[in-house]
Amino acid sequence: MDKNKKIFGLQRNVFFLGITSFLNDLSSEMVLSVLPAFFISVLKTGAGALGIVEGVADAASNLIKVYSGRRSDKMAKRKIFAILGYTLSVCTRPFYTFAGSVFDVASLRVIDRIGKGFRDSPRDALISLSVDAREVGWSFGYHRAMDTLGGVAGPLVAFLILSQFPDAFSSVFMVSFVIGLLAIASLIWVHDVGPVISKNIFAPTTGTLTPRLRAYIFSLFILCAGTLPVAVLLFKTQELGFAVATIPLFYMIYSVSYAISSWPAGRLVDRIGSGRMIVLGYIFLISAYATLAMSQSIFLLVLGLLLTGLFSACADGAQRAHIAHLVPENQRGTAYGYFNVAVGFGALVAGVVGGYLWEFVGSHVALGAGVATVFIGLSVFMSTLRVRRRT
């Protein structure tokens, strides 16, 4: 792959993978944004059940991520894993129409996340291998921006459907499926990057899990364990008395903040470093939790969701870019596999524990526990930065 062939200043693979992510997230976020309403209106349950479903689904994907990352490194082929992963996820979406229990939704979410497990590590490796080192943050920032633009459009489309046809969840799921098929089709313009020889003199020559990478992965697990799923945070709308049908709109507020900030945040990563950007992101998250805990009006609720979007924009791409500085090119798929495992199992803890605390103890306790966990994770992460600086 010629790293000099660009479209709108972006390497070809990066550009089209962004298009794929936009379409896929438009599709998937249509489903995710209506799940709180679906759980309340159809399944007659709440945040605890949804948190468990999301946590278990993310954990299931982790069983695949290390395998797909390692296998893509050995085969030096990443596109096939992306095709398989996107196809598996998209094929689940029409079946939500027939879901009548929490178990049914959980099964579909697990299959969806297994698809995510197949695609994420090879796709992230493909992005990092398709660009020069000085463009890694910028490229991941673009990818996260396109991903999140889909996240903005998805809840909006879902809201428009439900506002015109109340409780027409089946229509949301079928439209989501059609858009997902377009996402799969867009992969035709993505090409594999052949085997490479690392030029990073600071990267390990044997074995991916160096002590520095292990410490980073461990800090990520703690940080993600303190990051409550946005789907759980949206139950704050019910505490304030908003209609169920408005939940996708509030989800869109978060997604707009994320989308607008992602690409500039990616550029900032290349300027100030991924480590500082990660710390900045979690400062935004702590601020968001404090704001949501105090919110008794729509203003503070919206502000909290905007801050949550800023956190995601700053941290998400920076965390991925940070991996590219720790391992050589021919081990990226494996490294991103371990990265995604840490993120996924952290999400499992956040979803299960956070969702339970939110529903049965109170939102203030859930948010406070999140803040405390993030502080611990930041302490561990900043210690890895000091070790790297001394090295």
Instruction: Give the number of other CB atoms < 10 A from CB of residue 290.
Output: 16
Task: Tell me what the mean pLDDT of segment 116-128 comes to.
Answer: 87
The whole domain housing 318 covers 12-189+209-390
Pairwise pLDDT comparison (162 vs 208), residue with the higher score:
162
Mean pLDDT for the chain?
Answer: 84
pLDDT of residue 262: 81
Domain-located, residue 201? no
Domain-located, residue 7? no
Pairwise pLDDT comparison (201 vs 366), residue with the higher score:
366
Give the C-alpha separation, 214 to 220, whole Å. 10
pLDDT of residue 195: 53
Of 39-48, 251-260, 312-321, give the lowest mean pLDDT range.
39-48
Of 36-45, 202-211, 357-366, give the lowest mean pLDDT range.
202-211
| Whole-number Cα distances in Å, 240 to 64, 206, 302 | 39, 54, 12
| Whole-number Cα distances in Å, 149 to 23, 128, 259 | 9, 21, 5
Pairwise pLDDT comparison (171 vs 255), residue with the higher score:
171
pLDDT of residue 143: 86
Domain-located, residue 28? yes
Domain-located, residue 116? yes
Give the C-alpha separation, 291 to 257, whole Å. 16
pLDDT of residue 199: 42
Give the C-alpha separation, 84 to 122, whole Å. 11
pLDDT of residue 387: 53
Residue 45 has pLDDT above 70, yes or no: yes
Residue 115 has pLDDT above 50, yes or no: yes
Domain-located, residue 197? no
Residue 300 has pLDDT above 70, yes or no: yes
pLDDT of residue 339: 86
Residue 7 bridge partners (DSSP): 10
Q: Using the Cα atoms of residue 8, residue 11, residue 13 and residue 14 in order, give the sign of their dihedral.
A: negative
Q: Give the domain CATH number at 34.
A: 1.20.1250.20
Task: Tell me what the mean pLDDT of segment 351-368 comes to.
Answer: 91
H or E segment to which residue 98 belongs: none
Return the exposure string of 62-89: e unless at least 16 CB atoms fall within 10 Å of the residue's CB, then b: bebbbebbbbbbeeebbbbbbbebbbbb
Question: What percent of the chain has pLDDT above 90?
Answer: 35
Number of domains in the chain: 1
Residue 9 CB-density burial (10 A; 0-12 exposed, 13-18 middle, 19+ buried): exposed
pLDDT of residue 130: 87
Pairwise pLDDT comparison (116 vs 243), residue with the higher score:
116
Do the beta carbons of residue 191 and residue 1 sit within 8 Å?
Answer: yes
Residue 4 has pLDDT above 70, yes or no: no
Domain-located, residue 241? yes
pLDDT of residue 204: 39
Task: Tell me what the mean pLDDT of segment 5-24 comes to.
Answer: 89
- In 3D, which of 144, 159, 151 has the Cα closest to residue 179? 151
Residue 11 bridge partners (DSSP): 6
pLDDT of residue 164: 85
H or E segment to which residue 127 belongs: helix 102-129
Is pTM beyond 0.75 here?
Answer: no
**pLDDT tens sequence across 98-112:** 988 888 988 998 899
Instruction: Give the number of other CB atoms < 10 A from CB of residue 109.
Output: 24
Instruction: Give the number of other CB atoms < 10 A from CB of residue 112.
Output: 24
CB half-sphere exposure, 134, CA atoms < 13 A: 0
Domain-located, residue 203? no
Pairing between β-strand 10-11 and β-strand 6-7 as defined by DSSP bridges = antiparallel
Domain-located, residue 295? yes
Q: What angle do CA 298, 303, 309 make, to 5 degrees?
A: 130
Q: Using the Cα atoms of residue 168, residue 174, residue 176 and residue 179 in order, give the sign of their dihedral.
A: negative
